[in-house]
Structure 1
Amino acid sequence: MKKVNIGGVPEHFNLAWYLTLKNGEYKDAGINLRWHDYYGGTGAMCKALRSGEIDIAVILTEGIIKDIIAGNPSKIIQTFVKTPLIWGIHVATNSKFESLEDIRGTRAAISRYGSGSHLMAYINAKNNNWDLNKDLKFEVIKNLDGAVKGLNDGVADYFMWEKFTTKPLVDNGTFRRIGNCPSPWPCFVIAVRNEFIENQKEDLKTILDIINITTTDFKSIPSIDKTIANRYDQKLEDVQEWLSLTEWSQEVIDEKTIENVQDELLKLDIIPKKMEYSELITII
């Protein structure tokens, strides 16, 4: 049986992968798919793709585009979640900061350089007409646990992470959310190492077929809202709101979207150049 390593964040967006793994659907197709949680998010997954630690990543669109342009030997093969990610902007509960204007020029906690939390800090700064050179400062905190410690110890001042993932920390008084910043594009794509695409295309097609069947009907799974609430320690009403806002995709990301992402990243000086659609995307 062929072993395939896949990585993603341990969040509700990826429950469909857990369900198909639990049901043994990949093993039934002769594939030993091994899931790896990446608490460090997109930056950690980019590193894992480069090293060959994983073959496939369910990863933030802007992060993987940036890293492919920087030399990551991978391609995007499909959109996974086509709706934007809603990034909550958080401060420690006892912080003196009350508004987005208050955090201008202060230190953003980021999981690592090149991560979603890093790139979206630029988007938030642009949305609020900040000076990108003077008003952005960063402290690397590795993951969500690091952000909790960093904000409460005063190492950093604010932290951007997916709104619903951090909602329990807002509810229990660890964080206060002072704003939201939706990503201006589909949030998650599936990226695959070029070597794997070349050598195991049929296995890749099988994996996509299985996951796409599940995501097509994901919202119709009986009591899926209760399953998510229990598994991810979420309030049922928050899960129901999240489900109403989230749409999965089974399609290849289109050329216009890729252009828009690159245009935005180039304007923000996050990438040094743009690449052709065919250099970033492979249609399986």
Structure 2
Amino acid sequence: MTNLKIGGVPEHFNYPWYTTLKNKEYNKQNINLRWQDYPGGTGAMCKALRNGEVDIAIVLTEGIIKDIAAGNPSKIVQTFVQSPLIWGIHVGAKSTFKNSKDLEHATIAISRFGSGSHLMAIVNAYNQGWDISKLKFKVIGNLQGGIDALTNGEADYFMWEHFTTKPLVDNGTFRRIADCPTPWPCFVIAVRNEVLENNFNEVKKVLDIINNETKDFKKTKNIDKILAERYEQQLEDIQEWLKITEWNAGKPITKNIITRTQNKMVQFNVIDEKKNSSSFIKNMYI
């Protein structure tokens, strides 16, 4: 039995992993795949990949590209969710800010530097025409940290996935003043280089299983009700999310996608320079 550790955010995007683990599909292939939730998001998972806490991670495209460019010894093996991620821009319920243009000099809550909440705050600032060098950040760790920082006034706004934070908007904890979609596919699967060298076939089996699950995931009976209940979401919100979310059922990631994403990231001053796109990816489908 091969032991592999995998990490991801505890959000509805990753429910297909929960299903395949519950059904012991990896065990049937002689793989003991153990899941670890990372509420801190992509920044926390990049760190976990670097220090060997996880072997595989479901991470935001922009975060892992930035971290591999900075020396993370991992490769992207495929896109997991090919549709953009919709980032809500949130302020505290009692905040005086009314729209995103008011936020130019405000303090931004981010889970950690290099995380999606950090990088997308830069993308949003670029879209607004602000001076990115003057952005002010407050590191808060995770979603609960964001709630605390906006409630007690340590930060002014916080960007997190629109549907995950919708219950907090509904209950009056946050006010969402705008959305900012990613200009690239949102989630990819990254694997440590050492694991790819030693367990290539096992990683390929893991991908085959999850891709088979996501291929017809939206057709699962009552999936909207299941997800709404599990993630404490309104049924209509989950139905809307399912409409706009597309998984990638096994197509290899292309150098073109990495190049286009790097071009955007250089434009947004998120990375200093482009690197050879083939150095970011491992093709599992040769």
TM-score range, shorter chain: over 0.9
Structure 2 residue 27 is matched with structure 1 residue 27: yes
Distance 1:227 1:189 in 2: 24
Structure 2 counterpart of 1:231: 230
Range moving further from structure 2, 228-237 or 246-255: 246-255
CA contact (8 A) 2:75 2:192 kept: yes
Aligned-residue offset at 1:83: 0.1
Compute the displacement of 1:170 (Å).
Answer: 0.2
Paired residue secondary structure (2:7): strand
Residues 210-244 of structure 1 deviation map (CA, whole Å, 9 limit, x = unaligned): 00000001001000000000000000000000000
Aligned partner of 1:44 in structure 2 is 44
User: 2:26 is aligned with what amino acid?
Assistant: Y
Distance 1:260 1:130 in 2: 23
Which residue of the partner structure matches residue 2 of structure 1? 2
Are residue 240 (structure 1) and residue 245 (structure 2) matched? Answer: no
C-alpha RMSD of matched pairs (Å): 0.7
Partner-residue secondary structure (3-state), 2:163: helix
For 1:119, what is the secondary structure of its paired residue?
A: helix
Output the CA distance in 1 between the equivalents of 2:85 and 2:29: 32
**Hey, what's the Cα distance between the residues in 2 that align with 1:180 and 1:253?**
27
TM-score, normalised to structure 2, is: 0.98
CA distance, structure 2, for counterparts of residue 89 and residue 252 of structure 1 = 32
Instruction: After superposing the two structures, state which structure 1 stretch, 253-262 or 145-154, moved more.
Output: 253-262
The corresponding residue for 2:136 is 137
**Where do 5+ consecutive residues of structure 2 fail to align?**
none
Measure the CA separation in 2 of the matches of 1:131 and 1:273: 19
- Deviating beyond 6 angstroms after TM superposition, the runs of 4 or more aligned structure 1 residues are none
Distance 2:89 2:272 in 1: 27
Cα distance in 1 for partners of 2:49, 2:190 equals: 9
Q: Distance in 2 between matches of 1:272 and 1:281?
A: 20
Q: Which runs of structure 2 are paired with 1:1-284 in the superposition (5 Å)?
A: 1-134=1-134, 136-249=135-248, 250-284=250-284
State the alpha-carbon separation in 1 of the partners of residues 164 and 21 from structure 2: 22
The amino acid that maps onto 1:72 is: N
1:28 CA displacement: 1.1
Shift of 1:267: 2.2
SS at match of 1:214: helix
| Aligned sequence identity (%) | 61
Describe the superposition over 1:152-204 as per-residue Cα deviations: whole angstroms up to 9, x where unpaired.
00000000000000000000000000000000000000000000001001101
- Rounded Cα–Cα distance in structure 2 between residues aligned with 1:274 and 1:101: 30
Q: SS state of the match for residue 160, structure 1?
A: strand
Q: Structure 1, unaligned stretches of length 5 or more?
A: none
